[in-house]
Structure 1
């Protein structure tokens, strides 16, 4: 047990799920996406090799499931070269402590996200008043206290490369969190967007449960800077991705992705930005 790693004191299992929970999709021969309750994790690397990474670390209490899917895809007792975090919200780091303790692998994140990952700073409380549905109202139960990964967490390289992910570049896509990043591989147009935009209306309990596909901005209840969030969507649209794997919802591809992403950019204030909420009203 590594006592240098700890969750915040509000860490707990969150009883939300979707019809997609437990479903894995091979997006490309070297990209596998798996849904844990309401959030996606990605395994990037070819099966049968030791050369792969885990992108994001799922919901609280999901470590056993993540280890299971890693071993199903890569072999018994296999472990990733690293864990790359798009950001540090609870549903993207929910199993990180147990995974780092078991695998003893480095974790990489943007420098602006490190305060939330080293015990220095808590995230703001979720905005339960934000325009949206039942998940927004429930968001007050979501953990926001800083976790502490100690010296296991490292800055992503300044040159934009992603450790152990050849061909990928990371892009700073803030708004949902200060150090949010998205990962892009120009060769085949694959975008791992995190929560910069998602493909399900994350605020609405029915849509989260059914995984009804609909492009949306970042989940509203935890997004603290809407001007940055709009900038980030424009940046990702400019990359012209062919496939997008988002933190929540089903992957989008080809013309459906392009047309929806263009729509989100052109009508960001209508589609994504709430008309009211504490983070909106403060801008």
Structure 2
């Protein structure tokens, strides 16, 4: 934010794509520094996990063996035993248009988590993919199998992107891709189909 000369006080909303601790991140700290005026959005299926009412599905320390916990670096282990949480003000469900950036459309893309959401910014034709897509080695790829709860559902969710006029994709893992993701999505689907046969 500092590099972009944007102050926390200028922020109006936080759009959470899903419940993973690296996506909830410092939402609570941002909210506190902004005098808690920021509105937090998240999907209804991930809301109880984001708010800390249920333990995060993938980083639940109580479900991990002593060996698994021992393998986590100490500076990260704290997050597993004390995951971030934030209150969700507005629940995303069904189709709706958010009145920011001249129109942001949430796209329900479950699979990586039950309530994973991607966001389409109409004016700039930008897809914020969350973890539905990953950008690595110069190309778009599907969600990471090891961290995706339901891979079949996640790949099926990608088909929703084919209905949008996308020119830019922002992936949480890997960053910015310029272009339409259609070719990549069809390649991902074909690769999965070949792997299953």
Q: Scaled by the length of structure 2, what TM-score is found?
A: 0.76
1:122 to 37, 52, 55: 55
Normalised by the length of structure 1, the TM-score is 0.55
Candidates 45, 68, 80, aligned match of 1:112: 45
Q: 1:188 to 1:266 in 2, by over 3 A?
A: farther
Q: Distance between the aligned counterparts of 1:230 and 1:222, measured in 2?
A: 13
Deviates more, 1:168-177 or 1:229-238: 229-238
- How far apart are the structure 1 equivalents of 2:148 and 2:109? 12
Shift in CA distance, 239/144, structure 1 to aligned 2, threshold 3 Å: farther
- Gap change, CA 1:78 and 1:270, over 3 Å in 2: farther
Contact kept? 1:160, 1:169, Cα under 8 Å? yes
2:21 aligned residue: 90
How far the C-alpha of 1:195 sits from its partner, in A, is 0.5
Identify the residue that residue 7 of structure 1 maps to in structure 2: none
Deviation at 1:181, TM superposition (A): 0.5
- How far did residue 198 of structure 1 move? 0.9
Judged with a 3 Å threshold, the aligned counterparts in structure 2 of structure 1 residues 183 and 120 are, in CA distance, closer, same or farther, namely: same
Determine if contact 1:116/1:146 at 8 Å carries over to the other structure: no
SS for the counterpart of 2:120 is strand
CA contact (8 A) 1:194 1:245 kept: yes
Paired position in structure 2 for 1:263: 187
Does the 8 Å contact 2:24/2:86 carry over to 1? no
Task: Please give the alpha-carbon distance, in whole angstroms, between the structure 2 residues aligned to 1:217 and 1:243.
Answer: 16
1:139-189 CA distance string (max 9 Å, x none): 995738664424x53213654212534322111000001111111134442
Higher helix share: 2
Match of 1:172 among 108, 126, 134: 108
Change (3 A) 1:153 1:270: farther
Query: Could you report, residue by residue, the CA deviation over 1:8-63 in whole angstroms, capped at 9, with x for unpaired residues?
Result: xxxxxxxxxxxxxxxxxxxxxxxxxxxxxxxxxxxxxxxxxxxxxxxxxxxxxxxx
Gaps of 5+ in 1: 1-65, 127-136, 201-211, 274-283
What secondary structure sits across from 1:92 in the alignment?
A: helix
Query: Which structure 2 residues correspond to residues 129-140 of structure 1 after superposition, within 5 A?
Result: none
Query: Which whole-Å deviations, capped at 9, do the CAs of 1:245-282 have from their partners, x for residues lacking one?
Result: 11111322226x432232123323568x9xxxxxxxxx
Taking the aligned partners of 1:266 and 1:190, their CA distance within structure 2 comes to 24
Checking the alignment, whether the CA contact within 8 Å between 2:105 and 2:121 is kept in structure 1 is yes
How many residue pairs get matched? 180
Contact 1:237 1:265 in 2 (8 A): no
Cα distance per residue 1:73-122 (max 9 Å; x no partner)? 33x56331111111121111221121111111111001111011122212
Describe how 1:163-242 pairs up with structure 2 within 5 A: 163-200=99-136, 212-242=137-167
Over 3 Å counting, the alpha-carbon distance change for 1:106 and 1:187 in structure 2 is: closer
